[in-house]
């Protein structure tokens, strides 16, 4: 791409969602991935990791084929895109909404932060060298067990935080004497 500020135009490629790409063939999507990603791309996600290698882009294409086949409906809402020209890094704040798996009647939204590292291609255009996807555990768990799992994880975090805070306060009392 000529300018990384064009990221919102290819967000469906970056997130691997159907979105506007649902009418396109898999071949067309493969061509776009080959256009915007380096052949030795590194991909880190909560569930999967593709290390940088000579054929990592082909592995990413295979991963996206399964992901797009698993998703019945996808919508992406881009909240913000930050790009630093000096470091060639971008952060995308996006919400992905999908109907998935066992709970096909239930729309589930997941808020993602996606970090992209860019490099220059041989023709001087920006290509994605590394992609990392960050998401909260309770949002991922909510995709599999809606309503109950996110609340249980938040309860666990709250309980663990208070135990740690109380222990820290106790240590503070001991240090004062």
Structural domain boundaries enclosing 163: 147-177
pLDDT tens for each residue of 117-165: 999 888 888 889 999 999 877 777 666 666 676 777 778 888 888 888 8
Q: Are residues 88 and 13 in the same domain?
A: yes
pTM: 0.72
Q: Are residues 29 and 43 in the same domain?
A: yes
pLDDT value at residue 169: 83
For the chain, the average pLDDT equals: 79
Q: At 74, which CATH number?
A: 3.10.450.50
CB contact at 8 A, 16 and 41: no
pLDDT tens for each residue of 58-101: 998 888 877 765 555 567 788 888 888 889 999 999 888 766 55
Q: Are residues 156 and 84 in the same domain?
A: no
**Percent of the chain at pLDDT above 90?**
18
Tell me how far apart the alpha carbons of residues 99 and 78 are, in angstroms, rounded to a whole number: 18
Q: Are residues 18 and 67 in the same domain?
A: yes
Q: Give the total number of structural domains in the chain.
A: 2
């Amino acid at each position: 791409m000529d300018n990384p500020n064009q990221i919102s135009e290819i967000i469906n490629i970056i997130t691997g969602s159907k979105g506007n790409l649902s009418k396109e063939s898999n071949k067309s999507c493969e061509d776009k991935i080959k256009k915007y990603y380096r052949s030795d791309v590194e991909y880190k996600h909560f569930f999967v990791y593709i290390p940088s290698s000579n054929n990592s882009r082909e592995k990413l294409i295979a991963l996206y084929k399964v992901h797009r086949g698993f998703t019945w409906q996808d919508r992406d809402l881009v909240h913000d895109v930050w790009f630093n020209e000096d470091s060639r890094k971008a952060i995308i704040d996006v919400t992905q909404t999908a109907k998935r798996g066992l709970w096909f009647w239930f729309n589930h939204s997941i808020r993602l932060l996606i970090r992209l590292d860019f490099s220059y291609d041989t023709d001087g255009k920006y290509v994605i060298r590394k992609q990392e996807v960050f998401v909260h555990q309770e949002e991922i768990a909510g995709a599999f067990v809606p309503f109950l799992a996110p609340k249980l994880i938040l309860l666990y975090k709250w309980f663990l935080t208070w135990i740690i805070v109380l222990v820290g306060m106790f240590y503070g009392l001991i240090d004062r004497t």
